[in-house]
Structure 1
Amino acid sequence: MLDAEGSGPVTHEVSLKRKLTLPLLILYGLGVTIGAGIYVLVGTTAARAGVYAPVSFLIAATVVAFTGFAYAELSTRHPVSAGEAAYVRAGFNSNSLTLIVGLLVAASGIVSSAAVSIGAAAYIGEIVPLSQTFLSIAIILIVGVIAAWGILESVFIAAVFTIVEIAGLGFVIYFGISSDPAIISKVGTLFPPLEGVVWGGIISASLLAFFAFVGFEDIANVAEEVVEPHRTLPRGIILTLVVATVLYFLVVSVVVLVVPMAELSSSAAPLALVFEKAGSTASGIFRLIAIIATTNGVLIQIIMASRVIYGLSKQKSLPSFLSIVNPVTRTPLTATAIIVALVLLFATLLPIDQLAEATSSIVLLVFSLVNLALIRLKMTAPQPTEGVFVVPLWVPVMGLLTSIALLISGLLPI
């Protein structure tokens, strides 16, 4: 077929397909949120906050909530891949800042995937006597193939994994309470006194706990594959945060009350410690669930990071070959391959706590810029069109202030 002037063939650009409904979108968000942190970082958070670790998770949830509502508005104003980059472009009209933000988001996905792959390897290593490095590499490569397969297929697999991992957290809560019902009477000990030394550890631990919430913002980066994005995206973001917060508080409360602190603070597979005395069957079932949960976190972060690179390329901030969509898989294969290679690199170079803290710092910086972009839009741009989810101005202001405060806390001595 020739173009309108008869000068050459018409080329049809292959685009992403809108297949993600609200249930799949929520499971997508919960998959990366829950799998990324709670199965891996309870121990390192408890090492800083002690028995008050649940409070650290509540502080992190508060920071995330303000920014979550800001994302809900921005994702309906600009329902595109590489969402954060598009938000910053709209708010600041700066190509260089747009590219920086987009690359920071992709970096957060890369570093997060590397961290969670180490956690997954730790759980698998308790069953299979192979080196953690080898297991991390194998996990990343297998997950990379799934991510390249197709968005519906990979998100469907992630959704199934997410249901399993939520059931696993319910298993932790149930088994922890049933094995020691007296912990219910100790709930009051989870709330700290007003002492500076105690709160210093809690605030420092909040930066690590924040890592456990990294994921809800990934919902914005699959916007071009969401059915009815103006209705589905805000609901997906808000429901993901609510469910994750409730689960986190319950799970962490049970774990810090059941597991000896010395064991918990040094473990890369912390939730498995709840089942130490449960016998081989219960312990084995939970380890299998934990492997699924952590592997799921790696999968979804790789999907997210590849879509950010795709989106930046489509917005002409990166080379055009990165936005090529394979006509068979309908996924950006080149972008996915690059992300997988970088995840492999980081997983073999840095320990899990450094990767988690780096992820949290990167995401908090992005959150600060996204909130500032929404503030500028609200103060300078016309009122959004009908169908846009709108929040009051004070919401992104609080999102900006809390993100900056938590980011600065990571620079303070413990």
Structure 2
Amino acid sequence: MGYNFRPPGVLERLFQVKTADTGEKTELKRCLTLFPLMVQGLAHMLGAGIFVITPSIIQSVAGPATCISYLLSGLAAGLSVICYSDLASRYSCSGSAYVYTYFSLGECAAAIIGFFLIGELIIQSPMLTLGLADNIDLFIFNGTVHAWEGEYFPAWFLNTELIAIGTMVCFTVINLYGIKIVAYINIAIAGVSVLTLFTFCGVALAKGSVENLYKVVNPEDGRTGFAPFGFSGILSGAGIAFFAFVGLEAVVTLGEEAVNPKRDLPRATIGSFLMVLVLYVLTAFSIAFFVPWYELSGNTGLIGSLRNRGFKAAEYILTVGLIFTVFACGLCNLTTVVRVVYSVAEDGLVFSFLSVVNKRTQVPMWNVLVCGILGIGTSIVYDFDTLSHMISGGTLMVFMLTAVAVMILSYDTSDRELPVTKSEKTRLIPLPQGRFNISTSRKRHFIICQTVFFLSAILLSCLLTYFTQTTLIICMECVLFLMILTSLSLIRLNIPLKEGEDSLSFKSPFKPFVQGFSILINLLLLLHLKPVALQQLSIYAAVGLVVYLCYGIFFSKITNRKQNQFLIQLTAECEDTDKLVPDTADGLPKLLSFEKSL
């Protein structure tokens, strides 16, 4: 007796993909329109780095050239924005890059990238609260809180800041009341944030000096010029500056709470990104114009520089804006990580109680509490400087795999379903005839071209990062770049787009070149991060793999659905053969009775 269906094996489980949920059913409340979604991204990205990370990059990484670092990171992030918008127009579910990886690369890769995303966001909230605590203590308490903590807490407890812990508790409580409360707070604070930024930039440009951009000399090490740390420092600053654009996740993770997600998510993502990029570049330039770069002091540099120069009014305005803006960013961040964990738990890859939604508030209550506790614990273990260099590695990896997902979902010829609204009016793009035509299958050709592209991109990034630029190395880099262009061109010419691509509300232009260069830039920035960030990535990957192999592989909803289908078919076939098999057949009655009992 043969079966048309069998339960999935271990290898099949690792690479099984999620199919599109065209019903768009969710237990969460759909109440967010375009404006609240855009404000969610704006509040998250503004508070994420404009007051906290930017002075740190100027002081110790890139100098006055930090504005160039933001432009470079904005270029890479802009390519990622296109990829996110393309995917958001396809799927209206929470989870962001995790879900997109699940649709394209399979379950094991999705579990790992899910922990990349969760780890990055878990680190971000306590980092923001630590920066906020330093500024509150400096401005309101004149440093007495830190002095009191150092006196009364034991040595192993020195990383604990009571203000940071209290702020994390506030984030948790507010998120328990629902997404509408979070949206109202973000809308109220967004106006304060933008007004604060323009006030500071106006004061800085009016009172600063152009000599601060290129003439000042650091008395400690003699560094000077617009880029005192060189081009390598600009690239390193761009990698750290990517922290500013992690707020892109805040928009696309709200797919199950948006009223019209396939239309509004791409618009909100692009709109909030463009506004934030302009504000970041303007603010970084204004800071470097206003004060010598070596005089800044990490996460309190802005307020400290204003205080030292006697600008009391601007100091008060900036501090109030900083407190409210960073508070809104941390609040958005906790909202985002809760939605990612909810999506992973909903798929059965982590503990299912994290996806249980409270019927009254329509919020995953236990999920919020667990994420809040993890954020408090992180603020106890790490200090601000350590967290600031750990934050961007996971973001770069997430952005890179998002671009990979667009390439696979646009060109893959397998049976993965693409939800479309006008599929009957769309036809596949035919293969071009002539010398570019190939005899091998489309899928094999696609895999070969992708393999060549990734190997070339990795080698090119390593040569640009770790080797001295001699004539031989430059020639090798040119050859690798040509190989990258050739492999992407062969994909575009020989592999047709999937049916229904033209009916999407937003589609990425210049496929697959936008995705290819996004991967290359993100990979290059990733290699320029400090070793602690790369070590953190390996920890995320190890934790995600262990959790998946010990729990998710057994309780995945896709696996359970396939197993149930097998049992139903097995039971039906056993019932059909029951009349033909004698009851005395050794072992068979037990199997039949067991299956019938199911």
| Counterpart selection for 1:37 from 13, 28, 49 | 49
Cα distance in 1 for partners of 2:506, 2:69 equals 30
Structure 2 SS opposite 1:57: helix
Contact 1:41–1:270 under 8 Å retained in 2: no
1:15 aligned counterpart, secondary structure:
coil
8 Å Cα contact 1:259/1:273 also seen in 2: no
Bigger mean CA offset, 276-285 vs 48-57: 276-285
Which residue of structure 2 lines up, in the alignment, with residue 148 of structure 1? 176
- The answer to whether the 8 A contact 2:65-2:227 is kept is no
Q: 1:333 aligns with which of 350, 353, 365?
A: 365
Q: Return the letter of the residue paired with 1:324.
A: V
Post-superposition Cα deviations, 1:343-402, rounded to whole Å, max 9, x if no partner, equal 111112212232122220011111111211211112215234623411132111111111
Aligned to 1:65: 78
Kindly report the root-mean-square deviation, in angstroms, between the aligned alpha carbons of the 2 structures.
2.4
- Match of 2:62, SS state, is helix
Alignment of 1:285-304 (within 5 A): 285-304=317-336
**Higher RCO (Cα < 8 Å, 6 or more apart):** 1
Partners in 2 of 1:278 and 1:162 — Cα distance? 27
Are the structure 2 counterparts of residues 174 and 114 from structure 1 closer, same or farther at C-alpha, using a change threshold of 3 Å? same
1:271 Cα deviation after fit = 2.5
Distance 1:161 1:195 in 2: 34
**Within 2, Cα distance between the matches of 1:136 and 1:196?**
34
The letter for the 1-side match of 2:193 is E
Shift of 1:247: 0.5
Of residues 179, 187, 190, the one that matches 2:207 is 179
| Match of residue 307 from structure 1 | 339
Q: Deviations over 1:22-62 (max 9, x none)?
A: 11111100111010111101222111111111111111111
Q: Tell me the residue number matched to 1:5.
A: none
TM-score normalised by L of structure 2:
0.63
> Residues 94-113 of structure 1: CA distance to partner in whole angstroms, max 9, x if unpaired?
21211111122111111111
Deviation at 1:157, TM superposition (A): 0.7
State the AA in 1 paired with 2:107.
N
* Amino acid in structure 2 at the alignment position of 1:353: D
Are 1:383 and 2:499 an aligned pair?
Answer: yes
Alpha-carbon deviation of 1:138?
Answer: 0.7
SS in 1 for 2:357: coil
Q: Distance in 2 between matches of 1:72 and 1:189?
A: 42
Aligned residues: 396
Partner SS for 1:224: coil
Q: Find runs of 4+ consecutive structure 1 residues off by over 4 angstroms.
A: 185-190, 192-197
Structure 2 Cα separation of the partners of residues 163 and 63 of structure 1: 27
Letter in 1 for 2:506: F
Matching residue of 1:9: none
Name the structure 2 match of 1:53.
66
How much does 1:123 deviate?
A: 1.3
The 10-residue stretch of structure 1 (61-70 or 374-383) with the greater mean CA deviation from structure 2: 374-383
Inter-partner Cα distance in structure 2 for 1:167 and 1:27: 15
Change in 2 beyond 3 A, CA 1:287/1:76? same
TM score, norm. by length of structure 1: 0.90
2:247 alignment counterpart: 215
Shift, 1:189, TM fit: 8.3
Distance 1:253 1:169 in 2: 12
Task: Provide the C-alpha distance between the structure 2 equivalents of 1:292 and 1:188, rounded to a whole number of angstroms.
Answer: 33
Aligned residue number for residue 278 of structure 2: 246
Q: Output the CA distance in 2 between the equivalents of 1:270 and 1:221.
A: 32
3-state SS of paired residue (1:225): coil
CA distance in 1, matches of 2:64, 2:51: 17
Q: How much does 1:280 deviate?
A: 3.5
Query: Which whole-Å CA distance do the structure 2 matches of 1:197 and 1:310 have between them?
Result: 42
- For 1:345 and 1:195, locate their aligned partners in 2 and report how far apart those are by CA, in whole Å: 37
Among 522, 528, 532, which residue is 1:409 paired with?
A: 528
DSSP-derived class of the 2:241 partner: helix
Give 1:270 shift. 2.5
The CA deviation at 1:230 is 1.3
Q: Whole-Å Cα distance in 2 between the matches of residues 43 and 196 of structure 1? A: 15
Counterparts in 2 of 1:189 and 1:99: CA distance versus 1, 3 Å: farther
- Give 1:237 deviation, angstroms: 0.7
CA distance in structure 2 between the aligned counterparts of 1:307 and 1:345, rounded to whole angstroms: 20
Q: 1:412, CA displacement in angstroms? A: 7.8
Moved more, 314-323 or 139-148: 314-323
Opposite residue 274 of structure 2, the aligned amino acid is V
Q: For 1:304 and 1:145, how far apart are their aligned partners in 2?
A: 15
Q: Does structure 1 residue 236 correspond to structure 2 residue 248?
A: no
- Partner residue of 2:315? 283
Structure 2 partner of 1:268: 299
Give the Å deviation of 1:275.
2.6
Of structures 1 and 2, the larger Rg is shown by: 2
> Equivalent residues in 2 for 1:127-146 (5 A)?
127-128=140-141, 129-131=144-146, 133-146=161-174
Any unmatched runs of 5+ in structure 1? 1-12
Distance in 2 separating the partners of 1:279 and 1:194? 25
> What is the Cα deviation at residue 285 of structure 1?
2.5
- Taking the aligned partners of 2:256 and 2:232, their CA distance within structure 1 comes to 42
Provide the residue aligned with 2:110 in structure 1.
98
Given that residues 29 and 256 in structure 2 are in contact (C-alpha distance below 8 angstroms), is that contact kept between their aligned partners in structure 1? yes
Deviations 1:171-207 (A, max 9, x none): 1111112324x54x987989x9999961011111111
